[in-house]
Each structure stands twice: as C-alpha cells, then as structure tokens.
C-alpha cells in the first residue's frame, strides 16, 4: 500500500517482516545500552545477571541483524521519500549504513573480547557459546575498550536516528516515520 504525498508521488512503507525486525532490534538495542550502562556502574548481587543478559542480547542482536541484512539484500527497501532533499537522503543513508555495520560488528567485538578474557558467552541460560580465541587478558582489555567506544557510537547513531524520525513526524509532518510504523498505529 502506498501513501500519496502532497507532491502526488507515491511512497511505500516497509514490509511487515522488515518492520518486525526493525522494532525487535530497536528494543534489544535500547535494552542492551541500558544494561551496559548499568553494569558499568554497579557492583553487587545482580552484576552477573546484568553481564549475562548483556551478552545474551548481543548474540540475539547479531542473529537478528544477519537476518535483517539478508532480508534487505533479498527484498530491498522502498525508495526514499521523493520530498526529501538530496542531503537528507545522504545523511539518512549514512546513519543507516553505520548502524547496520556497527550492529553487526559490535556483538562480534564483544564475543572476541569475552573469549580473550577466557569466558564463555551465555545465551539466555539455554547454552554457552565457547571462546573462539585463546585467553589473552591484555587483548581482552583492548577489545573491551573498543567495544565500549563502539557502544557510545551506536548510542549516538540511535539518538540521531530517533531524533530524525521525530523531526519528520512533528516538525516536517511528512510520512517518513509512517513507513516503519505498524499499520495498526498509523503506518503505511
């Protein structure tokens, strides 16, 4: 289904499956950022649970991102809204590409850091993913530092993405955000 813009052009929304992956990954990313901040600032009886949940969500995000990239390569995306200026399309494409790359690379970095620390990576208590590299604490420290900074980068990109979506919805009052909303709440 397409929505007719004021310019008379037709703008389609994303498929139901693409929307499902987007919102599921978004929830996981918000949760993992919050947990990452909490576990960095908390030491107590819940520390192990925070770390294990963070690691499990990282594995889940990687699996979901692989599915999302594969789906996107196979099905594409709707064309950009024709009312957007070229610089906005370029900025959007850059932020999306960086998010995709970091959301694939970040869990791999975390897994490598955790492996070089000498620890298995749990997946929601169902099973453990064994380390893939030998224990090397100095390497682990460097990888965890890169992982942390990449996390800050993801958080910044998420804020930019959400900010742009809200800008389109509240200030420009166009249908850009509606392309990713579920139809039951006004999506196209």
- Percent above pLDDT 70 for the chain: 94
Q: What is the pLDDT of residues 24-66, one digit of tens each?
A: 999 999 999 999 999 999 888 999 999 999 999 999 999 999 9
Answer whether residue 1 is part of any domain: no
Q: Which residues contact 100 (CB under 8 A, 6 or more apart)?
A: 65, 68, 69
Answer whether residue 9 is part of any domain: no
Indicate the pLDDT class of residue 186, thresholds 50, 70 and 90.
confident
**CATH number, domain at 116?**
1.20.950.20
**Strand positions, DSSP E, 7-152:** 10-12, 121-123, 127-129
User: In DSSP terms, which residues pair with 128 in a beta bridge?
Assistant: 122
Taking the model in full, what pTM does it have? 0.91
Domain that includes residue 106, residue range: 14-185
Indicate the pLDDT class of residue 183, thresholds 50, 70 and 90.
confident
Answer whether residue 5 is part of any domain: no
Does residue 179 contact residue 78 with C-beta atoms inside 8 Å? yes
Output the CA torsion sign for 22, 96, 36, 144. Answer: positive
Does residue 187 contact residue 20 with C-beta atoms inside 8 Å? no
Q: Say how many domains are in the chain.
A: 1
């Amino acid at each position: 289904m397409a929505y007719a813009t004021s310019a008379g052009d037709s703008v389609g929304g994303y498929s139901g499956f693409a929307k499902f992956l987007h919102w599921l990954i978004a929830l996981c990313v918000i949760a993992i950022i919050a947990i990452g901040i909490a576990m960095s600032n908390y030491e107590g009886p819940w520390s192990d649970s925070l770390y294990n949940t963070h690691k499990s969500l990282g594995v889940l995000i990687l699996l979901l991102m692989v599915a999302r990239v594969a789906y996107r390569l196979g099905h594409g995306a709707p064309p950009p809204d024709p009312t957007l200026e070229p610089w906005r399309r370029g900025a959007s494409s850059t932020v999306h590409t960086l998010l995709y790359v970091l959301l694939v690379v970040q869990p791999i970095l975390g897994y490598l850091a955790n492996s070089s620390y000498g620890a298995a990576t749990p997946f929601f208590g169902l099973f453990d993913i064994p380390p893939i590299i030998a224990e090397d604490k100095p390497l682990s420290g460097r990888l965890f530092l890169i992982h942390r900074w990449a996390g800050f980068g993801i958080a910044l990109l998420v804020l930019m993405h959400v900010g742009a979506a809200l800008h389109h919805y509240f200030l420009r009052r166009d249908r850009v955000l509606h392309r990713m909303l579920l139809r039951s709440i006004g999506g196209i």
